[in-house]
Amino acid sequence: MTRWRILPAGAIWCVALIGHAPFGAASAHPAIDAFTAYCFKAGQTPAQARANMTDLVGDPLPFTLTFWDKTLQPAPGTPAHAERRCEVAFDGDHAADAVTEVQAKMATPPVFGTSIPLTSPYEPNAGTAYLDARELLRKRVAVVHIGTRDGPETFIRVDRLPPGMGLSE
């Protein structure tokens, strides 16, 4: 299956350290900082995730946050194929910066899973810059999707799938 990646993980790490931004510099957008700091952390309610991100980047949040975790609270109207979602969406085309910074975060210990083939219903769309399924611990899979939508608007999303879903048996 085709992987949607801009650069290999090793190259991303080098870009992040050498060419992307000086040490201590802020990212291209506060939404990217908030995503990398809190969207990979399990065990948060929507209120906790919002509070964590607000503490990091200020109030009001400079992005739209979509967050739910069905293992902690009911989430009516959410898709059955995901048990948890964290997405930030913000104005402008920042997909390349988001890919660089998210991949660097995923490569930092503890490393965020191992790439596996995508499962349905995940597939690239016209604005996809990065789409990858990752096998996690405890028979879990996470799918990271970065791209742009009309506007343009950049989105960064991670879905965690129910136990066993997305894994080939």
% of the chain exceeding 90 in pLDDT: 70
> Looking at residue 24, what is its pLDDT?
42
pTM: 0.83
Residue 14 has pLDDT above 50, yes or no: no
> Looking at residue 26, what is its pLDDT?
57
Long-range CB pairs of 93-96, under 8 A, 24+ apart, other chains included: 93/148, 93/152, 93/154, 94/28, 94/29, 94/31, 94/32, 94/154, 95/127, 95/129, 95/130, 95/146, 95/147, 95/148, 95/154, 96/6, 96/129
pLDDT tens profile 113-148: 889 999 889 999 999 999 999 998 888 899 999 999
pLDDT tens profile 99-109: 999 999 999 88
> Looking at residue 93, what is its pLDDT?
96
